[in-house]
Protein backbone atom coordinates (compact mmCIF):
# COMPACT_ATOMS: atom_id res chain seq x y z
CA UNK A 1 0.00 0.00 0.00
CA UNK A 2 2.85 2.33 0.87
CA UNK A 3 4.41 1.72 -2.58
CA UNK A 4 1.11 2.61 -4.26
CA UNK A 5 0.88 5.83 -2.24
CA UNK A 6 4.46 6.78 -3.10
CA UNK A 7 3.87 6.16 -6.83
CA UNK A 8 0.62 8.11 -6.74
CA UNK A 9 2.29 11.06 -5.03
CA UNK A 10 5.20 11.04 -7.45
CA UNK A 11 2.79 10.92 -10.41
CA UNK A 12 0.93 13.88 -8.97
CA UNK A 13 4.16 15.83 -8.63
CA UNK A 14 5.11 15.01 -12.22
CA UNK A 15 1.72 16.17 -13.52
CA UNK A 16 1.89 19.35 -11.46
CA UNK A 17 5.29 20.14 -12.98
CA UNK A 18 3.97 19.55 -16.52
CA UNK A 19 1.00 21.81 -15.83
CA UNK A 20 3.24 24.50 -14.35
CA UNK A 21 5.46 24.36 -17.43
CA UNK A 22 2.34 24.79 -19.61
CA UNK A 23 3.20 21.75 -21.72
CA UNK A 24 0.12 19.96 -20.37
CA UNK A 25 -3.11 21.91 -20.82
CA UNK A 26 -5.91 19.51 -21.81
CA UNK A 27 -7.58 18.09 -18.66
CA UNK A 28 -7.98 14.73 -20.43
CA UNK A 29 -4.24 14.28 -20.78
CA UNK A 30 -3.57 15.59 -17.28
CA UNK A 31 -5.93 12.97 -15.87
CA UNK A 32 -4.32 10.27 -18.01
CA UNK A 33 -0.86 11.13 -16.68
CA UNK A 34 -2.27 11.04 -13.13
CA UNK A 35 -3.94 7.66 -13.58
CA UNK A 36 -1.59 5.62 -15.80
CA UNK A 37 1.24 4.13 -13.71
CA UNK A 38 4.48 4.78 -15.58
CA UNK A 39 6.35 2.44 -13.24
CA UNK A 40 4.25 -0.50 -14.45
CA UNK A 41 5.91 -0.05 -17.86
CA UNK A 42 9.41 0.44 -16.46
CA UNK A 43 10.16 -2.54 -14.25
CA UNK A 44 13.68 -2.41 -15.69
CA UNK A 45 15.64 0.33 -17.46
CA UNK A 46 19.13 1.80 -17.81
CA UNK A 47 20.58 4.88 -16.10
CA UNK A 48 23.75 6.34 -17.58
CA UNK A 49 26.72 6.76 -15.29
CA UNK A 50 29.11 9.74 -15.46
CA UNK A 51 31.64 7.57 -17.32
CA UNK A 52 29.10 6.89 -20.10
CA UNK A 53 28.33 3.28 -19.18
CA UNK A 54 24.78 2.12 -18.48
CA UNK A 55 23.65 0.75 -15.11
CA UNK A 56 20.51 -1.43 -14.82
CA UNK A 57 17.70 -0.29 -12.54
CA UNK A 58 15.05 -2.83 -11.53
CA UNK A 59 11.98 -2.58 -9.31
CA UNK A 60 14.21 -3.80 -6.45
CA UNK A 61 16.33 -0.64 -6.65
CA UNK A 62 15.66 1.63 -3.63
CA UNK A 63 15.22 4.66 -5.92
CA UNK A 64 13.23 2.86 -8.62
CA UNK A 65 10.03 4.92 -8.29
CA UNK A 66 11.89 8.21 -7.86
CA UNK A 67 13.89 7.52 -11.03
CA UNK A 68 10.77 6.45 -12.98
CA UNK A 69 8.87 9.62 -12.17
CA UNK A 70 11.63 12.04 -13.03
CA UNK A 71 10.82 14.15 -16.05
CA UNK A 72 13.45 12.30 -18.06
CA UNK A 73 13.79 9.66 -20.75
CA UNK A 74 14.22 6.09 -19.48
CA UNK A 75 16.32 3.92 -21.81
CA UNK A 76 15.04 0.36 -21.95
CA UNK A 77 17.17 -1.26 -24.68
CA UNK A 78 20.71 -0.93 -26.03
CA UNK A 79 22.08 -2.04 -29.39
CA UNK A 80 18.77 -3.33 -30.74
CA UNK A 81 18.49 -6.49 -28.62
CA UNK A 82 18.19 -7.67 -25.01
CA UNK A 83 21.67 -9.09 -24.48
CA UNK A 84 22.96 -5.80 -23.04
CA UNK A 85 20.31 -5.96 -20.31
CA UNK A 86 21.29 -9.48 -19.30
CA UNK A 87 24.95 -8.49 -19.33
CA UNK A 88 24.27 -5.40 -17.22
CA UNK A 89 22.43 -7.46 -14.63
CA UNK A 90 25.38 -9.83 -14.47
CA UNK A 91 28.22 -7.29 -14.45
CA UNK A 92 26.67 -4.09 -13.11
CA UNK A 93 27.10 -1.91 -16.20
CA UNK A 94 27.52 -2.05 -19.98
CA UNK A 95 28.29 0.18 -22.93
CA UNK A 96 25.91 0.61 -25.84
CA UNK A 97 23.69 2.79 -27.99
CA UNK A 98 20.04 3.34 -26.90
CA UNK A 99 17.50 1.76 -29.26
CA UNK A 100 14.28 1.83 -27.23
CA UNK A 101 13.02 4.00 -24.39
CA UNK A 102 10.17 5.62 -22.53
CA UNK A 103 10.28 9.20 -23.76
CA UNK A 104 10.68 12.25 -21.57
CA UNK A 105 7.21 13.04 -20.16
CA UNK A 106 7.50 16.69 -21.27
CA UNK A 107 7.92 15.63 -24.91
CA UNK A 108 5.12 13.08 -24.58
CA UNK A 109 2.79 15.77 -23.24
CA UNK A 110 3.74 18.22 -26.00
CA UNK A 111 3.06 15.65 -28.72
CA UNK A 112 -0.18 14.40 -27.22
CA UNK A 113 -1.43 17.98 -26.94
CA UNK A 114 -0.37 18.63 -30.53
CA UNK A 115 -2.51 15.70 -31.71
CA UNK A 116 -5.63 17.69 -30.77
CA UNK A 117 -7.66 14.49 -30.56
CA UNK A 118 -11.45 14.54 -30.54
CA UNK A 119 -13.68 11.82 -29.10
CA UNK A 120 -13.97 8.98 -31.58
CA UNK A 121 -10.63 9.64 -33.31
CA UNK A 122 -8.57 6.66 -34.42
CA UNK A 123 -4.84 6.98 -33.71
CA UNK A 124 -1.86 5.08 -35.08
CA UNK A 125 1.24 5.24 -32.88
CA UNK A 126 4.56 4.50 -34.58
CA UNK A 127 6.95 3.03 -32.02
CA UNK A 128 5.26 1.21 -29.14
CA UNK A 129 8.35 1.14 -26.93
CA UNK A 130 7.37 0.37 -23.34
CA UNK A 131 3.64 0.78 -24.07
CA UNK A 132 3.27 3.73 -21.68
CA UNK A 133 2.27 6.20 -24.38
CA UNK A 134 -0.20 3.71 -25.86
CA UNK A 135 -1.74 3.43 -22.40
CA UNK A 136 -2.15 7.21 -22.19
CA UNK A 137 -3.82 7.21 -25.62
CA UNK A 138 -6.08 4.32 -24.63
CA UNK A 139 -7.04 6.05 -21.38
CA UNK A 140 -8.32 9.08 -23.29
CA UNK A 141 -9.68 7.52 -26.49
CA UNK A 142 -10.49 3.93 -25.54
CA UNK A 143 -8.68 0.73 -26.53
CA UNK A 144 -10.54 0.18 -29.78
CA UNK A 145 -9.36 3.49 -31.22
CA UNK A 146 -5.63 3.01 -30.64
CA UNK A 147 -3.23 1.03 -32.85
CA UNK A 148 0.46 0.83 -31.97
CA UNK A 149 3.23 -0.70 -34.09
CA UNK A 150 6.84 -1.57 -33.26
CA UNK A 151 9.55 -3.18 -35.37
CA UNK A 152 10.97 -5.21 -32.47
CA UNK A 153 8.76 -8.22 -31.63
CA UNK A 154 10.32 -8.63 -28.19
CA UNK A 155 9.78 -4.99 -27.29
CA UNK A 156 6.20 -5.22 -28.55
CA UNK A 157 5.42 -8.42 -26.62
CA UNK A 158 6.62 -6.90 -23.36
CA UNK A 159 4.63 -3.74 -24.02
CA UNK A 160 1.45 -5.71 -24.78
CA UNK A 161 1.86 -7.68 -21.54
CA UNK A 162 2.31 -4.51 -19.50
CA UNK A 163 -0.65 -2.85 -21.19
CA UNK A 164 -2.87 -5.82 -20.41
CA UNK A 165 -1.63 -5.93 -16.81
CA UNK A 166 -2.68 -2.30 -16.33
CA UNK A 167 -6.06 -2.81 -17.98
CA UNK A 168 -5.40 -1.47 -21.47
CA UNK A 169 -5.86 -3.46 -24.68
CA UNK A 170 -5.04 -1.39 -27.78
CA UNK A 171 -4.22 -3.17 -31.02
CA UNK A 172 -0.47 -3.93 -30.91
CA UNK A 173 1.25 -4.91 -34.15
CA UNK A 174 4.79 -6.08 -34.89
CA UNK A 175 5.98 -4.52 -38.12
CA UNK A 176 7.85 -1.78 -39.93
CA UNK A 177 6.41 1.53 -38.74
CA UNK A 178 7.55 3.22 -41.94
CA UNK A 179 4.80 1.25 -43.69
CA UNK A 180 2.13 2.27 -41.17
CA UNK A 181 -0.59 -0.33 -40.70
CA UNK A 182 -3.02 -0.43 -43.61
CA UNK A 183 -5.55 -2.97 -42.20
CA UNK A 184 -6.87 -0.43 -39.65
CA UNK A 185 -6.52 2.69 -41.81
CA UNK A 186 -7.59 5.39 -42.26
CA UNK A 187 -6.42 7.13 -39.09
CA UNK A 188 -7.51 10.52 -37.83
CA UNK A 189 -4.12 10.97 -36.19
CA UNK A 190 -0.69 9.42 -36.72
CA UNK A 191 1.83 9.92 -33.92
CA UNK A 192 5.47 9.16 -34.66
CA UNK A 193 7.37 8.54 -31.43
CA UNK A 194 10.56 7.88 -33.36
CA UNK A 195 12.33 10.25 -35.74
CA UNK A 196 12.01 9.89 -39.51
CA UNK A 197 14.29 11.27 -42.21
CA UNK A 198 11.23 11.90 -44.42
CA UNK A 199 7.50 11.60 -43.83
CA UNK A 200 6.78 8.08 -45.13
CA UNK A 201 4.35 7.99 -48.04
CA UNK A 202 2.34 5.27 -46.25
CA UNK A 203 1.58 7.73 -43.44
CA UNK A 204 0.20 10.24 -45.93
CA UNK A 205 -1.88 7.53 -47.61
CA UNK A 206 -3.26 6.17 -44.33
CA UNK A 207 -4.26 9.50 -42.76
CA UNK A 208 -7.92 10.45 -43.21
CA UNK A 209 -8.64 13.72 -45.08
CA UNK A 210 -8.15 16.56 -42.62
CA UNK A 211 -6.26 14.27 -40.22
CA UNK A 212 -2.99 15.12 -38.51
CA UNK A 213 0.51 13.67 -38.47
CA UNK A 214 2.69 14.64 -35.50
CA UNK A 215 6.29 13.45 -35.55
CA UNK A 216 9.89 14.58 -35.30
CA UNK A 217 12.43 14.62 -38.09
CA UNK A 218 15.67 12.66 -37.91
CA UNK A 219 18.10 15.57 -38.08
CA UNK A 220 21.09 15.67 -35.75
CA UNK A 221 21.29 19.43 -36.31
CA UNK A 222 17.96 21.24 -36.55
CA UNK A 223 15.66 18.45 -35.45
CA UNK A 224 12.17 19.35 -34.34
CA UNK A 225 8.55 18.43 -34.09
CA UNK A 226 6.25 18.93 -37.05
CA UNK A 227 2.44 18.82 -37.24
CA UNK A 228 0.95 18.29 -40.67
CA UNK A 229 -2.64 18.38 -41.89
CA UNK A 230 -3.20 15.81 -44.63
CA UNK A 231 -5.43 16.48 -47.64
CA UNK A 232 -5.30 15.07 -51.16
CA UNK A 233 -2.33 12.89 -50.35
CA UNK A 234 -0.07 15.64 -49.06
CA UNK A 235 0.75 16.99 -45.61
CA UNK A 236 1.22 20.69 -44.96
CA UNK A 237 1.93 22.19 -41.58
CA UNK A 238 4.46 23.80 -39.29
CA UNK A 239 7.57 23.16 -37.28
CA UNK A 240 6.42 23.47 -33.67
CA UNK A 241 7.91 25.97 -31.24
CA UNK A 242 8.68 23.19 -28.77
CA UNK A 243 11.76 21.14 -29.56
CA UNK A 244 11.67 17.36 -29.63
CA UNK A 245 14.35 14.74 -30.24
CA UNK A 246 13.80 11.01 -30.61
CA UNK A 247 15.70 7.90 -31.55
CA UNK A 248 15.35 7.42 -35.30
CA UNK A 249 13.23 4.78 -36.97
CA UNK A 250 15.69 1.91 -37.31
CA UNK A 251 15.64 2.09 -41.10
CA UNK A 252 16.55 5.79 -40.86
CA UNK A 253 19.66 5.53 -38.66
CA UNK A 254 22.92 7.16 -39.77
CA UNK A 255 24.87 3.89 -39.72
CA UNK A 256 27.83 5.48 -41.50
CA UNK A 257 28.43 8.17 -38.87
CA UNK A 258 30.38 6.28 -36.17
CA UNK A 259 33.31 5.47 -38.43
CA UNK A 260 33.32 8.94 -39.98
CA UNK A 261 33.35 10.66 -36.59
CA UNK A 262 36.18 8.43 -35.39
CA UNK A 263 38.21 9.20 -38.52
CA UNK A 264 37.62 12.93 -38.04
CA UNK A 265 39.47 12.82 -34.70
CA UNK A 266 42.84 12.37 -36.39
CA UNK A 267 42.30 13.11 -40.09
CA UNK A 268 44.81 15.38 -41.78
CA UNK A 269 42.99 18.61 -42.71
CA UNK A 270 42.93 20.15 -46.16
CA UNK A 271 43.03 23.48 -44.32
CA UNK A 272 42.89 25.06 -40.87
CA UNK A 273 41.86 28.58 -39.90
CA UNK A 274 40.32 30.64 -37.13
CA UNK A 275 36.57 31.23 -36.84
CA UNK A 276 34.33 33.61 -34.92
CA UNK A 277 31.37 31.22 -35.02
CA UNK A 278 31.29 29.10 -31.84
CA UNK A 279 30.49 25.43 -32.23
CA UNK A 280 27.66 25.76 -29.69
CA UNK A 281 25.74 28.08 -32.05
CA UNK A 282 25.62 25.29 -34.63
CA UNK A 283 25.13 22.12 -32.57
CA UNK A 284 23.35 23.15 -29.35
CA UNK A 285 19.53 22.79 -29.58
CA UNK A 286 19.13 25.79 -27.24
CA UNK A 287 20.88 28.02 -29.77
CA UNK A 288 18.57 30.22 -31.82
CA UNK A 289 20.62 29.47 -34.93
CA UNK A 290 20.77 25.67 -34.61
CA UNK A 291 17.55 24.94 -36.52
CA UNK A 292 18.56 27.20 -39.42
CA UNK A 293 22.04 25.66 -39.45
CA UNK A 294 20.41 22.29 -39.95
CA UNK A 295 18.76 23.47 -43.16
CA UNK A 296 22.20 23.83 -44.71
CA UNK A 297 23.86 20.94 -42.88
CA UNK A 298 20.90 18.62 -43.32
CA UNK A 299 22.69 15.25 -43.43
CA UNK A 300 25.49 16.07 -41.01
CA UNK A 301 26.22 13.99 -37.90
CA UNK A 302 28.10 15.38 -34.92
CA UNK A 303 30.50 14.24 -32.21
CA UNK A 304 31.99 15.84 -29.11
CA UNK A 305 35.42 16.30 -27.50
CA UNK A 306 36.31 17.99 -29.78
CA UNK A 307 33.19 19.02 -31.69
CA UNK A 308 33.18 17.28 -35.06
CA UNK A 309 30.82 17.46 -38.02
CA UNK A 310 30.80 14.76 -40.70
CA UNK A 311 28.82 14.31 -43.91
CA UNK A 312 28.12 11.15 -45.95
CA UNK A 313 30.10 12.61 -48.86
CA UNK A 314 33.29 12.47 -46.75
CA UNK A 315 33.40 16.12 -45.72
CA UNK A 316 34.32 16.80 -42.09
CA UNK A 317 35.05 19.54 -39.57
CA UNK A 318 37.05 19.46 -36.34
CA UNK A 319 36.29 22.52 -34.18
CA UNK A 320 39.02 23.36 -31.65
CA UNK A 321 38.05 26.51 -29.78
CA UNK A 322 38.66 29.36 -32.23
CA UNK A 323 40.28 27.07 -34.83
CA UNK A 324 38.59 24.77 -37.33
CA UNK A 325 40.17 21.99 -39.37
CA UNK A 326 38.29 20.89 -42.51
CA UNK A 327 38.58 18.12 -45.05
CA UNK A 328 36.68 16.37 -47.82
CA UNK A 329 34.92 17.67 -50.93
CA UNK A 330 32.94 20.42 -49.12
CA UNK A 331 34.08 23.07 -46.66
CA UNK A 332 31.31 22.42 -44.13
CA UNK A 333 32.29 25.17 -41.72
CA UNK A 334 32.37 27.73 -44.55
CA UNK A 335 28.79 26.66 -45.30
CA UNK A 336 27.83 27.01 -41.64
CA UNK A 337 29.27 30.54 -41.49
CA UNK A 338 27.45 31.51 -44.71
CA UNK A 339 24.21 30.15 -43.24
CA UNK A 340 24.79 32.20 -40.08
CA UNK A 341 25.17 35.38 -42.11
CA UNK A 342 21.98 34.56 -44.04
CA UNK A 343 20.10 33.83 -40.80
CA UNK A 344 21.07 37.22 -39.36
CA UNK A 345 20.07 38.99 -42.58
CA UNK A 346 16.65 37.30 -42.45
CA UNK A 347 16.02 38.59 -38.92
CA UNK A 348 17.14 35.48 -36.97
CA UNK A 349 14.03 33.33 -37.58
CA UNK A 350 13.37 30.56 -35.07
CA UNK A 351 12.04 27.07 -35.75
CA UNK A 352 8.35 28.00 -35.45
CA UNK A 353 8.71 30.48 -38.31
CA UNK A 354 9.03 27.58 -40.76
CA UNK A 355 6.43 25.47 -42.53
CA UNK A 356 6.91 21.92 -43.76
CA UNK A 357 5.33 20.29 -46.81
CA UNK A 358 5.35 16.58 -47.63
CA UNK A 359 3.97 15.30 -50.95
CA UNK A 360 4.47 11.92 -52.65
CA UNK A 361 7.32 13.43 -54.70
CA UNK A 362 8.97 16.15 -52.58
CA UNK A 363 9.40 17.35 -49.01
CA UNK A 364 10.71 20.75 -47.98
CA UNK A 365 10.86 23.51 -45.38
CA UNK A 366 9.83 27.07 -46.20
CA UNK A 367 10.31 30.32 -44.30
CA UNK A 368 7.27 32.47 -43.52
CA UNK A 369 7.02 35.63 -45.62
CA UNK A 370 9.63 34.56 -48.16
CA UNK A 371 9.95 32.34 -51.22
CA UNK A 372 12.90 30.49 -49.65
CA UNK A 373 12.62 26.69 -49.47
CA UNK A 374 14.98 23.95 -48.31
CA UNK A 375 14.24 20.50 -49.80
CA UNK A 376 15.02 17.35 -47.89
CA UNK A 377 17.79 15.32 -49.53
Sheet containing strand 301-303, strands side by side: 271-274, 323-327, 316-320, 307-310, 301-303
Distance CA 194, CA 269 (A): 35
- To the query of whether residue 17 is one of the catalytic residues in this protein, the response is no
Q: Would you say 336 and 219 are in contact if contact means Cβ atoms under 8 Å apart? A: no
Q: Would you say 112 and 244 are in contact if contact means Cβ atoms under 8 Å apart? A: no
Chain-centre distance for alpha carbon 76: 15
Helix, strand and coil in the chain, % to nearest 5 = 35, 25, 35
Which of the residues 103, 138, 197, 315 is marked catalytic? Answer: 103
Give the side-chain half-sphere CA count within 13 A for 105: 28
Q: Would you say 13 and 69 are in contact if contact means Cβ atoms under 8 Å apart? A: yes
Distance CA 245, CA 20 (A): 22
H helix intervals, the chain: 2-20, 27-35, 64-68, 83-91, 105-115, 132-141, 153-165, 201-206, 257-264, 279-283, 290-296, 332-345
Burial of 69 (0-12, 13-18, 19+ CB in 10 A): buried
Q: Would you say 100 and 128 are in contact if contact means Cβ atoms under 8 Å apart? A: no
Q: To 10 degrees, the CA torsion angle through 195, 206, 190, 214?
A: 60
Chain-centre distance for alpha carbon 223: 8
In Å, what is the CA distance from 353 to each residue of 73, 197, 226, 243, 364? 28, 20, 12, 13, 14
Q: Which residues are catalytic?
A: 103
Amino acid sequence: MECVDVAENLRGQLVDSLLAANVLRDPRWAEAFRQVPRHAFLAGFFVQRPDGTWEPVTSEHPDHLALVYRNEVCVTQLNGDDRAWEQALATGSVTGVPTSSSSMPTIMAIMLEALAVAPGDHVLEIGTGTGYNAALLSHVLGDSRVTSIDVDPGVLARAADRLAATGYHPTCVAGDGEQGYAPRAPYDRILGTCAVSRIPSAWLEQTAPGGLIVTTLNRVIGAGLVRLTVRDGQGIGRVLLEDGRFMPLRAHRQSWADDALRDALTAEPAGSRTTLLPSRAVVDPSSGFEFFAGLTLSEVATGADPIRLVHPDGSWVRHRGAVVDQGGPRALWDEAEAAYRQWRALGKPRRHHFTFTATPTEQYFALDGTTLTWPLP
